[in-house]
Each structure stands twice: as structure tokens, then as C-alpha cells.
Structure 1
């Protein structure tokens, strides 16, 4: 066994491509409720945020109500969540080699059920920490440390793979190594990843599998 006993994955932008299904409905909501036309590119930074925080940052008055409406629009959007190429195979191979696969995500549980469970990968995930499971979210280390605590693994034996600055900051604060998912990342400013993965299969190469 190499240095890492556990690979912890983010979901959005790492396992699942959910960018358009989240941001196009957000554009619609902003136009409807705030009367603003915001360019798609200017919404990309919110990919790093938990859903409700995005709504707060954008200045919606009734955060819970607007968030619920956004979720409704997301789930009605014709383009659903899709797995990135190779990621399914990578998770299966990691599991078969005895490396624990886990998830730390700001996704709410009900959205996890809608987006992730249909992929069939749930059976390979030994632990998942979602938005409701910690009071503090990324960039705080709490979700990652909770995974290590639940699995009873030393954080230094874990690698976190994500696509945003918040993922990077949370990883470093948790004392873990960080792998950037370049296939889902669109802004690398301030990110000093331990590993740069151009495609999911690079994870296996790095681990010598």
C-alpha cells in the first residue's frame, strides 16, 4: 500500500459535470427575482460555494425560498448531471485495490440522491459527508476531517481531489494532500496542488495502479 489509504472526492466539477445544470437555472432565477442579466462566465466563481451561500452572496432577500426555487429549476433543467469520462472506472479500480473512496461535498443530501445515486457508484463510496453533516463547509477543513474521523484514518493518509480554491484551502487546513481535477476546474488562481490531474486516469498512474 502506498502513502494514501483513502481518496476523498468532491462531486461537482470532479465526479459529475453539473456546471450548466446549476448555472443556467441560476441565471434564470437572478433575472426573475433580481431583475439582473449576469453573464454565465461571471457566475463560474460560485461553483466553489455551497448552494445557499451562493444565494446569500448574490443578495436574494429570502434565501430559503429562492434556494428552493433554484433547486426546482435545476431538477427541471433538461441537461442533468453526467459523469466525467473515466471517473467511474477509476473509482471501481481504486476500490478493487483496497483504497477507500469517500466523498466530501457541499451538496445537500436530497440533491446527492438525485444527481449521484443514479450513477451506481454509491456502493464504492465507504463514507460521504454532505452539506448537512457539518456546520462549517469548505474552505474550512471540517467536512474532510469528518471523513477521516468516521473512517478512523490519519488525514496524512488521505488525498482530496477537487476543482476549486475552496477545495484546495480545505485540504491544506485538514493536513491532507490535494489533487486538482483539471477536467472540471476553470480557475487555478491561488491553487498550489500537490498533484495536477489532467484526466481521472492520471490518479491511477500517480498511485502506481
Structure 2
């Protein structure tokens, strides 16, 4: 059994796509642009506002796109998102059971996310099981976030853990790159925002793919 398991947040523990998409669509409406399709939402939620807004503004002619301020648009998104932080967001089925199994086995677990702390903490407060983490590292806690391994190296330093004794669970390739860079064993959260990329996921540095949180526990218990 591992000594610790760390999780991505969006698309791994929480399905935040409804509220992220709502914020993006409100920004797009401000510019008289059509809302995002379900395919765009699924493909870009884990990439945050950059991914969602990039998909939404892609239909603009280059000249109009260049005239827009990326900073202002991002601020608009964050304002809308903070106002609708937990309207449609839900825990993925099986997450609570997985965390309970980790707690019962005395396995340390934490959350390492590219979401800013001022959004992450109030969101986690809406889901009691997620507040029981041993450590939380957010995008703005360190100079570099995933895919750089710095955040995962940091949690190991803080908890005096050997990365080789830890797993990291995330739903996009940047999560797997970060895990491998830190020397952790990666698991792809196949229930998340992989957008049909699961056929290629086994090639993301030969990461194991779990189709459910229950399968994550199966992998961990076999370690």
C-alpha cells in the first residue's frame, strides 16, 4: 500500500464543469458570442478559464481577437465564477467511499490543484469529505504549477514523504507529466475530463487508467 495519495480537483474529485461553463458562457454572452458546446466544455474544463475561453473566442476573426484584453476577459470569468462557485458542482460518484477507505487504512491524502486558493478553499468548504485532506496545494502557492512537478515535490517535502511511496490521480496529461516528474506513480482518472483521450491515456508515460474511484482503490491495494 502507498503511504500517500494525492488528487487533482477539477475532473477528478469534483465535477466543476457546470459552473466553469456557466462563467465562461456569461463572458461569451457579454461579447455576443454563442455558448460553448458540451464537447468544448468536456474538453477544456480541466484547462481552466484559458481553455474554456480559448474555445469560446476561437470563432472571432484574428483582428478582433487581438483587440481584446486577455487579462480583462479572465477577470470577467473569475468574477462570474466566484459568484456561481457551487451551483451545479458535484462530487463524482465513488469519491467519498474512496476517501473513507484511505482514512480507514491510515493512508495520507491531499489535493494538488491548478485552481487558485481563493476559489479552492470556499469550494471545498461545500463538501465536508474534501475538507479532511492532510494537505492542499493550489496554483498560486508556488511560482510554478502543473505540469511542473514543483507542487508534488512540495507536498512530499512538507509531509516528509518519499515520492516513490506516493500516487497522484488526475484526469489530464499535465497531471501525469507532473506525477512522473516528481517520481510518483500516476493514475488517470478516466471518469473525468479526458474528452475521449482514454485510448491514448495508457501512453501518457504508461500510466494506469482507472474508470472509477473504486478502481483507484483496487490499484492502490495491489501496490
TM-score range, shorter chain: 0.7 to 0.9
1: distance between equivalents of 2:16 and 2:206? 22
Where structure 2 has 5 or more consecutive residues not aligned to the other structure, the ranges are: 58-64
Q: Offset at 1:145?
A: 1.2
Q: Offset at 1:183?
A: 1.0
Q: Does structure 1 conserve the Cα–Cα contact (< 8 Å) formed by 2:49 and 2:77? A: no
Q: Does structure 2 conserve the Cα–Cα contact (< 8 Å) formed by 1:180 and 1:193? A: no
Per the alignment, residue 28 of structure 1 pairs with: 26
1: distance between equivalents of 2:8 and 2:219? 18
Q: Does structure 1 conserve the Cα–Cα contact (< 8 Å) formed by 2:176 and 2:207? A: no
Q: Offset at 1:130?
A: 0.2
1: distance between equivalents of 2:74 and 2:98? 33
Deviation by residue 1:8-48 (Cα, 9 ceiling, x = unmatched): 00000000000121123213313424x54364223544333
Q: Kindly indicate whether residue 77 of structure 2 is the aligned counterpart of residue 70 of structure 1.
A: yes
Q: Does structure 2 conserve the Cα–Cα contact (< 8 Å) formed by 1:50 and 1:137? A: no
2: distance between equivalents of 1:205 and 1:176? 17
Q: Does structure 1 conserve the Cα–Cα contact (< 8 Å) formed by 2:10 and 2:46? A: no
Relative to the length of structure 2, the TM-score reads 0.80
SS at match of 2:109: strand
Structure 1 residue corresponding to 2:40, chosen from 36, 39, 42: 42
Structure 1 residue corresponding to 2:209, chosen from 192, 196, 202: 196
Per the alignment, residue 144 of structure 1 pairs with: 152
Structure 2 residue corresponding to 1:121, chosen from 118, 129, 132: 129
Q: Offset at 1:177?
A: 1.0
SS at match of 2:209: strand
Change (3 A) 1:155 1:50: farther
SS at match of 1:103: strand
Deviation by residue 1:94-149 (Cα, 9 ceiling, x = unmatched): 02211000111011112112321211124421111101111111111111111111
Change (3 A) 1:170 1:50: farther
Aligned residues: 206
Where structure 1 has 5 or more consecutive residues not aligned to the other structure, the ranges are: none
2: distance between equivalents of 1:171 and 1:54? 24
Q: Once superposed, what is the RMSD of the aligned Cα atoms?
A: 2.6
Per the alignment, residue 181 of structure 2 pairs with: 173
2: distance between equivalents of 1:56 and 1:152? 39
